[in-house]
Amino acid sequence: MADAPDKDSKTEEATEKKIRDTVEKGQLPHSKEVAILASFLAILAYAVFFAKDSMVELSGFLATFLEKPEVWPLQTEADIIALYRVIFVEIAKALSAVLILIVVAGIGASVLQHMPAFVLDRIAPKASRISLSQGWSRMFGLQGWVEFLKSLGKLAFTLVILIFVLSETHLRLLSGMITPPSVFGLVIRDVAIDILTAITFVMLVIAAADFVWSRFHWLRDLRMTKQEVKDEHKQNDGDPLVKARIRSVARDRARNRMMAAVPKATLVIANPTHYAIALKYVRDQDEAPVVLAKGMDLVALKIRAIAEENGIPVFEDVTLARSMYKQVSVDSMIPPQFYHAVAELVKIVYANGARAPKRKGLQ
């Protein structure tokens, strides 16, 4: 089996057909960093707009739960189940907003990159997905090392930004510790928002770069060799050899049909060997003479031979034959400008019955 072309030989940009076929197979560029950015945006939105009210409600419930335990009797198994149910509902209420935001952000990140589509080929089982050797190559090969270095770079970049943003945070926390619990909670919330904002900014930069890189890398991988481009053009336009063969067969069939129609002709106009046109005219049936066959050189000689074998008059007229050959079509009536000249010949045919003598130089 021939080796796959190396990347150095793929110098041509991908054609529209290859891109379309790749998209239909679900092989689209996808940036994981965009999805992570969307998650952090969702958490940040929750912290800014929903966290305060949710935490106040949850802290109020927990305060009642801890300060007034007698409100929650635990005498029976049903009491314990009821308490668990209440706690679960309160926690779910506090976290429902952030969970909904994360789900919506994840879907939005996917739609932003490309519209979702069901592709059977993507879920079809493949041996390569459970191959230990290929799995090892993905983890510890060049691509695996690239992903590892990218992760280290993201971590280092994030740490630098966080250290810069949180350089004075310990002072805010120390000041908040001498304030009432409700006020200190707001200090912690503000610190959390600062941390999320810094991380979100970092992810925005990383996601933008990864989004552009993923599409550049995708298009680079789709590049084609010159031979692949030629082969695709052949598939789209048809192999020139096959098309030539088809045209040749079509011409042969058309020529055979013409030759089979020559015995039905009324007369043949020749020049004397280069051109030949076979015409049929039936009085009171045809409005004008119809071209049954036409040809030049060898085909013209064949038309003449068939006509002579069947006793069909052949008129040699250089000027008329040359002019008619260029302007008439097979199975069509002759143009009006030839009516008069051909009518004279038809008269001769009908005047002489089945045969007519050859004539030269008829104008």
- In tens, the pLDDT along 5-55 reads 556 677 778 777 787 777 777 777 878 888 888 888 888 888 888 877 776
User: What pLDDT score was predicted for residue 283?
Assistant: 80
Of 267, 264, 275, 257, nearest to 330 by C-alpha is: 257
pTM of the prediction?
Answer: 0.48
Instruction: Indicate whether 362 pLDDT > 70.
Output: no
- On average, the pLDDT of the chain sits at 77
Instruction: Indicate whether 1 pLDDT > 60.
Output: no
- In tens, the pLDDT along 209-219 reads 888 888 888 88
Instruction: Indicate whether 144 pLDDT > 80.
Output: no
H/E/C letters for each residue in the chain?
A: CCCCCCHHHCCECCCHHHHHHHHHCCCCCCCHHHHHHHHHHHHHHHHHHCHHHHHHHHHHHHHHHHHCHHHCCCCCHHHHHHHHHHHHHHHHHHHHHHHHHHHHHHHHHHHHHCCCCCCHHHHCCCHHHCCHHHHHHHHHCHHHHHHHHHHHHHHHHHHHHHHHHCCCHHHHHHHHCCCCHHHHHHHHHHHHHHHHHHHHHHHHHHHHHHHHHHHHHHHHHCCECHHHHHHHHHHHHCCHHHHHHHHHHHHHHHHHHHHHHHHHCCEEEECCCCEEEEEECCCCCCCCCEEEEEEECHHHHHHHHHHHHCCCCEEECHHHHHHHHHHCCCCCECCHHHHHHHHHHHHHHHHCCCCCCCCECCC
User: What pLDDT score was predicted for residue 119?
Assistant: 52
Residues in Cβ contact with 307 at an 8 Å cutoff, skipping those fewer than 6 apart: 262, 265, 268, 278, 313, 314
Instruction: Indicate whether 361 pLDDT > 50.
Output: no
User: What pLDDT score was predicted for residue 354?
Assistant: 47
CB burial of 36-51 (b: ≥16 within 10 Å; e: otherwise) equals bbbbbbbbbbbbeebb
H/E/C letters for each residue in 176-229?
A: HCCCCHHHHHHHHHHHHHHHHHHHHHHHHHHHHHHHHHHHHHHHHHCCECHHHH
- In tens, the pLDDT along 185-227 reads 677 778 888 888 888 888 888 888 888 888 888 888 888 888 8
Residue pair 113/211 in contact by the 8 Å Cβ criterion: yes
- In tens, the pLDDT along 321-338 reads 888 888 888 888 888 888
Of 306, 327, 325, 315, nearest to 261 by C-alpha is: 306
User: What pLDDT score was predicted for residue 95?
Assistant: 76
Most confident of 54-58, 125-129, 139-143: 54-58
Which range has the worst mean pLDDT, 88-92, 231-235, 274-278?
Answer: 231-235
Query: Where along the chain do its domains lie?
Result: 13-125+166-233, 258-351
What is the share, in percent, of the chain residues with pLDDT greater than 90?
1
- In tens, the pLDDT along 145-179 reads 777 777 787 778 778 877 777 777 767 766 766 66
CATH (residue range 258-351): 3.40.1690.10
**Identity (one letter) of the amino acid at 166?**
L
Of 310, 322, 319, nearest to 276 by C-alpha is: 322
- In tens, the pLDDT along 280-300 reads 988 878 888 898 888 888 888
